[in-house]
Amino acid sequence: MREYAQVKPVEEAVEQAISECIQEGIMAEFLKQNRAEAKQVSIYEYDEEKHMRQEREASWEEGREVGREEGREEGRVQGREEGKFEGKIELLRMQIQKKLVKGKSVSEISEELEEEEDVIAQMIREMGEERAADKHLPPKLSH
């Protein structure tokens, strides 16, 4: 019946399936005597199955959309956190740069900015590497 229901209306598909069962001797006597009831039950069950499948598909799609929205929200939260972190790093780099210009040592900068000396030293090295890399770029691209 499912095969027929794909290419013709459900009522016709059920009717054809019942006729084939009778011709092939499958529950032939029962179907001959109760054809109308068998047809109604088959249509009802098919419609109920179709309805349940549609409900499952709708629920699946709804769940998928909820998952996507949660993923987007998590991405926004993560992006904001990363942005805050990058902003703090950039602020720290600017503060270090100002203190270097004033001739302060790594130890003095570390104490004033309340950061570990190895963190300050690493950032100074990275800033130096970036400046060195900028000097190797063509003039139009360096700033």
**121 lies in a domain?**
no
d(CA 123, CA 94): 11
Question: Tokens 């109920």 identify what position?
Answer: 48
d(CA 104, CA 121): 12
**6 lies in a domain?**
yes
Q: How many domains does the chain have?
A: 1
**118 lies in a domain?**
no
pLDDT for the residue 46: 78
d(CA 111, CA 120): 10
pLDDT for the residue 91: 96
pLDDT for the residue 110: 95
**109 lies in a domain?**
no
**42 lies in a domain?**
yes
Per-residue pLDDT of the chain (143 residues; tens, 9 = 90+): 657 666 678 888 888 888 988 999 999 899 899 889 988 988 888 778 887 888 899 999 999 999 999 999 999 999 999 999 999 999 999 999 999 999 999 999 999 999 999 999 999 999 988 776 666 655 554 44
Nearest to 100 by CA among 139, 131, 141: 131
**55 lies in a domain?**
yes
DSSP string over 27-68? SHHHHHHSHHHHHHHHHHHHHHHHHHHHHHHHHHHHHHHHHH
Q: How many CB atoms lie within 10 A of CB 18?
A: 21
Q: What domain range is 48 assigned to?
A: 2-83
pLDDT for the residue 73: 96
pLDDT for the residue 8: 76
pLDDT for the residue 99: 95
pLDDT for the residue 5: 62
Cβ atoms of residues 124 and 100 within 8 Å: yes
**31 lies in a domain?**
yes
**67 lies in a domain?**
yes
Write out the two tokens for 67.
């998952």
Cβ atoms of residues 52 and 44 within 8 Å: no
